Structure 1
């Protein structure tokens, strides 16, 4: 049976539809990602799964427990790390950990093995108030507190937002270690590079699931010939590429523009260079590139925006 199962979950805040008919499953021991920008519905789904919010419609189960009827049982088997740092900022690192252990009627010593690798990085700061920690250290402390009762499922809502690149990398390494111990992990992120670290992901936009698949399958499903284009002036480059007669889509991608073509063109590089040179661009480079998850997301998003809302 799935560790998490959502069936036609919908939730509105007044006139704003935050989540619309979301259905997905997460298998036991899986590292599953909810991927999408702000406003996609990720936090609403987490709050429903953590039994902090009631859905307007649909059903959801966590570890075989219904989120409405069996919410108390769910709270004993779930570790939840919300997007905002929510620990007691006036308590020290050690005091926060001991407090959350006491809430779940356990002790730090009893489950120390589970958090040891993470907590050892916090030991030099154990007497420092949580509010005085750096972003990366707050992140590690919050993860320790979410794990201290040895949960079956971790719900992590954008845990790496606002922290430096090194801390992001360390955090995902910690998640890999926890997965090896059999813990099911559902993590949300707006970062497409982090999506590639999940076993499966759900791409979300405006409260709807665009697609659920593995990162590799998402990359391979991209249907258009794709090129990375660079020139001296980025803004006019994007405008001219979007006006290119054979263009399907074009958007900025780092220091280049990613251009997809509506049809294959064996001489696409030469045709593009001639077109851009005629438009007055200099230092033009054009190269075919493999699609990323972000390319697939942008393509699904374009299709989603052009489809009628049901």
Structure 2
């Protein structure tokens, strides 16, 4: 990767539960100091992958390193150097923000726990709420507290599992601003799973996993370019009826509503254009214009084409 130091380097990771393959032959390289987005539908294997990387799960097969430690034989060392933020808030609801952070600092043996907690509180804008009980916080404030707990031991890697689910847009933006600061100023590597396309576009690189299989990776622009997708944008009345007709047309791989528009896409540009031309001649009530495929267009198509490993 252009001479960059690698924080995560794994190959062939496979994990099954009750005979069902949840992650299959997954290989991943994440450069140090980068924010790497991990995307995919629910049940696609993202959380299982994160747990294998941080030493909480042992893969059935595969190998690799995380922060230079072997994921098969040095799991305890990995745990000491990784901050893992789970989907569910996991701190103590009946302790204040300050008490939670001081407790975490003591558990990890951080020198001067009170000062470390105070620094985290100041950095994340929690000063005015430092003595508020964690259980009384809104989703956005809980998210900041959880991030503060993760960074207290000064980890080299953050694994964030859908950290902004259910959080308002302002809190989401502030969270991502802090993530970029941690990567740029502290050199922390971040692997973050998300369902939000605007968040995915803020990552340095992306990996898309569906039903245990890694389907695409690269920068946002590279993922869109690699898809080979062409897109038309349609506006007008009764788009739902039009979408139903278009979905049955040869050459059209995906029809997706976006507000007052339809995105009509296909991998074969010539076949798509022929299908669009036929639709335009049959119905002059809509306005068609050529558009650029979005990251969301690509991921919807990948999800539609993926094979459900639990089916």
TM-score by length of 2: 0.89
1:247 to 1:269, Cα distance in 2 relative to 1, 3 A: closer
Pair 1:209-2:211 in alignment: no
Conserved 8 A contact 1:33-1:195:
yes
Of 224, 243, 248, which residue of structure 2 is paired with 1:238?
A: 243
Q: Hey, what does 1:126 align to over in structure 2?
A: 130
Aligned-partner Cα distance in 2 for 1:9–1:138: 32
Of 284, 287, 310, which residue of structure 2 is paired with 1:285?
A: 287
Conserved 8 A contact 1:38-1:190:
no
Conserved 8 A contact 2:52-2:71:
yes
Q: Deviations over 1:109-129 (max 9, x none)?
A: 2476566321xx211111111
Q: Hey, what does 1:255 align to over in structure 2?
A: 260
1:37 to 1:111, Cα distance in 2 relative to 1, 3 A: same
Pair 1:221-2:214 in alignment: no
Q: Hey, what does 1:162 align to over in structure 2?
A: 166
1:112 to 1:193, Cα distance in 2 relative to 1, 3 A: same
Unaligned runs of 5+ in 1: none
The 10-residue stretch of structure 1 (222-231 or 72-81) with the greater mean CA deviation from structure 2: 222-231
Tell me the C-alpha RMSD between the 2 structures.
2.4
Pair 1:117-2:127 in alignment: no
Structural mapping, 1:27-38, within 5 Å: 27-38=31-42
Aligned-partner Cα distance in 2 for 1:242–1:83: 35
Aligned-partner Cα distance in 1 for 2:306–2:168: 32
Conserved 8 A contact 2:234-2:288:
yes
Q: Tell me by how many angstroms 1:84 deviates.
A: 0.8
Q: Hey, what does 1:145 align to over in structure 2?
A: 149
1:183 to 1:125, Cα distance in 2 relative to 1, 3 A: same
Aligned-partner Cα distance in 1 for 2:49–2:229: 32
Conserved 8 A contact 2:234-2:287:
yes
Q: Secondary structure of the equivalent of 2:282?
A: helix
Q: Deviations over 1:149-172 (max 9, x none)?
A: 111111100001111111111111
Aligned-partner Cα distance in 2 for 1:41–1:266: 36
Q: Hey, what does 1:39 align to over in structure 2?
A: 43
Conserved 8 A contact 2:211-2:307:
no
Q: Secondary structure of the equivalent of 1:116?
A: helix
Q: Hey, what does 2:282 align to over in structure 1?
A: 275
Q: Deviations over 1:271-295 (max 9, x none)?
A: 5433234xxxx5x222211111122
Structural mapping, 1:11-160, within 5 Å: 11-106=15-110, 107-110=113-116, 116-118=122-124, 121-160=125-164
Total equivalences in the alignment = 301
Q: Hey, what does 1:296 align to over in structure 2?
A: 298
Conserved 8 A contact 1:82-1:156:
yes
Conserved 8 A contact 2:7-2:29:
yes
Q: Tell me by how many angstroms 1:268 deviates.
A: 7.7
Conserved 8 A contact 1:35-1:192:
no
